[in-house]
Amino acid sequence: MSTAETVRKIVATHGKLPVDVGTIADDGDLYSAGLSSFASVQLMLAIEEEFDIEFPETMLNRGTFASIASIAKAVDTISAEQQAA
Amino acid sequence: MNIVTKAVAAELSDRARRAAKVAGEFADAVDREGRFPREGMDALKNERLMSIQVPGELGGEGASMQEIAEVCAILGQACASTAMTYAMHQIQVASIVGYSGNSAWHADFLKRLCDEQVLIASATSEAGIGGNLRNSVCAIEVDGDTVRLEKDATVISYGEMADAILITSRAHKDAPPSDQVSTLFLKGQYTLEHTRDWDTLGMRGTCSDGYIFRGEAPKEQILPRPFAEIAAESMLAVSHLLWGALWYGIAADAVNRAQSFVRAAARRQPGSTPPGALRLAEASSLLQQVKGNVVAGLRQFEEAKTDANKLSAMSFAVAMNNVKVGTSQTILTIINHCMLINGIMGYKNGTPYSLGRHLRDAHSAQLMISNDRILGNTSTMLLVHKQDTSLIG
């Protein structure tokens, strides 16, 4: 399963979106789709757990959680950095 | 600060002091009668202080948030209702200046704001959203180039006195509650049906009555950027900082009154320290904490303001929330200290040491955006946010 697909599953479980996640494109705006700031934190915690990573402070902003694609990109970046370290 | 900006800042403060003097003369009447602080607001218009945040090329003065906060602090020492009305207006101006993009209509409006010193109100509260301004029930109806909106607004501060209202709604009829836009309606484009009275403990002059808002306007009056961005990057931070500044002003005036009381007592009995003196020293220390809190927040805002990533960062949101919660709680402690110092002279209305209005106005601080809601929000962020332990940053 690609990172984006896993992220999509987690968004479906923890995003608490008022719409079906299947209707949102990978680059679709999650905030417009109804992602609240509270749900974005829950989502972040679930992603940290799933991928065994920790989001650095510099990535804790709206941009990182704007879309499934941007979350997947952040996850891949952090995973690569953690493996290199 | 170079010499030129320092001179401009001094000039702004002088203008604010002149307006504050007028506002102060009517503060007790405004409070007692629960009426709009007309005299203070007219004085602010006469000093052309309504438009200082508008960029120079549109006819304003491009004032920084620090300079605007200073005006709020000066007003807060004279009349909290005038200060709050001014602060709320500037919060709306910040949204329009920062988030109207290349919209010619909004640029023209800002020019008009400079020419006519118009007053802008805000309508974010709505029946049925549970106090969360990031949700709307109502939706804006787009019909060709025209938009229509009806909103059951539980609170529109100084709504009837405003020349324009910036109002949130869902972006379209099928949008989820958090997909919001902000639209600026001009007087004449809307009607207000009065539904709820504003008869409160304090901040009585903001006239924050409830209304059914019904408006129709050209579509171009919708701010082009989503309200989610405006709220996260500008509105919450600017609100907390400008409110914090005027709350500091309320507490600073209370401490001034307590100091006058202690000094008068000391003069009557030279050689002995009046009983209130120690508590005054404590109040002074607390006031410095409030000032430090607001100033540090303003500095952080100035550093982040040109960077959307910094403005939407969790660390920034936590810091701004802390400014709000900290200042709103501490001013109550300070004013209570001052009340103990001034005794019955502070408790009574109409003495030079009266503190009733200060105390009542200050009680609004922990409620406007409830501290419990803000602490809940911060506690969620603290699940993932890592604190910056450096002192200077």
pLDDT value, residue B49: 98
User: Which helix (H) or strand (E) segment is A68 a member of?
Assistant: helix A68-84
Cα radius of gyration (chain A):
12
> For residues B130 and B215, which has the higher predicted lDDT (pLDDT)?
B215
Cα radius of gyration (chain B):
21
* pLDDT tens digits for range B309-342: 888 888 999 999 999 999 999 999 999 999 999 9
Residue of A nearest to B227 (CA): A32
> Among B68, B83, B118, which residue terminates a domain?
B118
Q: What are phi and psi of B194, to 5 degrees?
A: -65, 130
The whole-angstrom separation of Cα B293 and Cα B300 is: 11
Cβ-contact B263, B344 below 8 angstroms: no
Tokens matching residue A64 = 């990182």
8 Å CB contact of A36 and B134: yes
What string of DSSP letters covers B100-147? Answer: -TT-HHHHHHHHHHHHH---EEEE---TTSTT-TT--S-BPEEETTEE
Confidence of residue B306 (pLDDT cuts 50, 70, 90): confident
> Which residues of A are less than 8 Å from B380 in CB distance?
37-38, 41
* pLDDT tens digits for range A15-66: 888 888 999 999 999 988 888 878 888 899 999 999 999 988 888 888 888 8
Residues B242 and B96 in one domain: no
Q: Is B392 among the domain residues?
A: no
Strand partners, B181: B169
- Over residues B286-290, mean pLDDT: 98
Q: Which residues have CB under 8 Å from B143's CB, separation 6+?
A: none
Q: Is B48 among the domain residues?
A: yes
- Over residues B89-97, mean pLDDT: 98
What string of DSSP letters covers B246-306? Answer: HHHHHHHHHHHHHHHHHHHHHHHSTTS--TTHHHHHHHHHHHHHHHHHHHHHHHHHHHHTT
Residues B234 and B332 in one domain: yes
Q: What are phi and psi of B170, to 5 degrees?
A: -65, 150
Cβ within 8 Å of B, A 7-36? 17-19, 31-36
- Please check the confidence at residue B193 and state whether its pLDDT lies above 90: yes
* pLDDT tens digits for range B161-183: 999 999 999 999 999 888 999 99
* Residue positions counted in chain B: 393
Cβ within 8 Å of B, A 41-80? 41, 44-45, 48, 55-57, 60-63
Residues B311 and B338 in one domain: yes
Q: What letter would DSSP give residue B232?
A: I
Domain CATH for B99: 1.10.540.10
Q: Map residue B238 onto helix, strand or coil.
A: helix
Residues B58 and B187 in one domain: no
Distances (CA, A) of B381 to A61, A72, B233, B316, B377: 11, 21, 16, 11, 7
The whole-angstrom separation of Cα B283 and Cα A64 is: 43
Residue of A nearest to B309 (CA): A61
Single-letter code of the amino acid located at B238: V
B169 vs chain A: nearest CA distance in angstroms?
Answer: 13
* pLDDT tens digits for range B241-268: 999 999 999 999 999 999 999 999 998 9
The whole-angstrom separation of Cα B96 and Cα B235 is: 10
Instruction: Please classify residue B185 by burial: count the beta carbons closer than 10 Å to its beta carbon, then call 0-12 exposed, 13-18 middle and 19+ buried.
Output: buried
Cβ-contact B295, B319 below 8 angstroms: no
Residues B324 and B271 in one domain: yes
Residue with the two structure tokens 């009557």: B268
pLDDT value, residue B345: 97
Residues B343 and B271 in one domain: yes
How does strand B190-196 pair with strand B146-153? unpaired
> For residues A85 and B117, which has the higher predicted lDDT (pLDDT)?
B117
Residues B75 and B136 in one domain: no
Q: Is B393 among the domain residues?
A: no
Distances (CA, A) of B41 to B24, B87, B162: 11, 11, 11
Q: Is B388 among the domain residues?
A: no
A7 vs chain B: nearest CA distance in angstroms?
Answer: 18
> For residues A57 and B284, which has the higher predicted lDDT (pLDDT)?
B284
Residues of B with CB under 8 A from a CB of A: 134, 171, 175-179, 226, 228-229, 232-233, 308-310, 312-315, 377, 380-381, 383-386, 388
Distances (CA, A) of B318 to B108, B376, B391: 35, 11, 16
pLDDT value, residue B7: 66
> Among B72, B98, B118, which residue terminates a domain?
B118
Residues B68 and B52 in one domain: yes
pLDDT value, residue A83: 83
Domains of chain A: 3-84 (1.10.1200.10)
Residues B54 and B132 in one domain: no
* Residue positions counted in chain A: 85
> Which residues of B are less than 8 Å from A18 in CB distance?
176-177
Residue of B nearest to A34 (CA): B178
Q: Is B103 among the domain residues?
A: yes
Residues B95 and B142 in one domain: no
| Stretch among A60-69, B35-44, B56-65 having the lowest mean pLDDT | A60-69
> For residues B21 and B384, which has the higher predicted lDDT (pLDDT)?
B21
Tokens matching residue B145 = 């180039």
Domain CATH for B286: 1.20.140.10
Residues B35 and B179 in one domain: no
- What's the domain count of chain B? 3
Q: Which residues have CB under 8 Å from B52's CB, separation 6+?
A: B12, B60, B61, B63, B67, B68, B71
Cβ-contact B214, B189 below 8 angstroms: no
Q: Is B390 among the domain residues?
A: no
Of B282, B297, B296, B291, whose CA–CA distance to B248 is shortest? B291
Sign of CA dihedral B279, B284, B287, B288: negative
pLDDT value, residue A60: 85
Tell me which of B133, B137, B178 to substitute to probe the interface with A (most A C-beta atoms closer than 10 Å). B178
Q: Is B60 among the domain residues?
A: yes
Q: Is B343 among the domain residues?
A: yes
* pLDDT tens digits for range B342-372: 999 999 999 999 999 999 999 999 999 999 9
> Among B62, B94, B118, which residue terminates a domain?
B118
Domain interval for residue B58: 3-118
8 Å CB contact of A57 and B385: yes
Residues B253 and B336 in one domain: yes
Of A85, A14, A53, whose CA–CA distance to A73 is shortest? A53
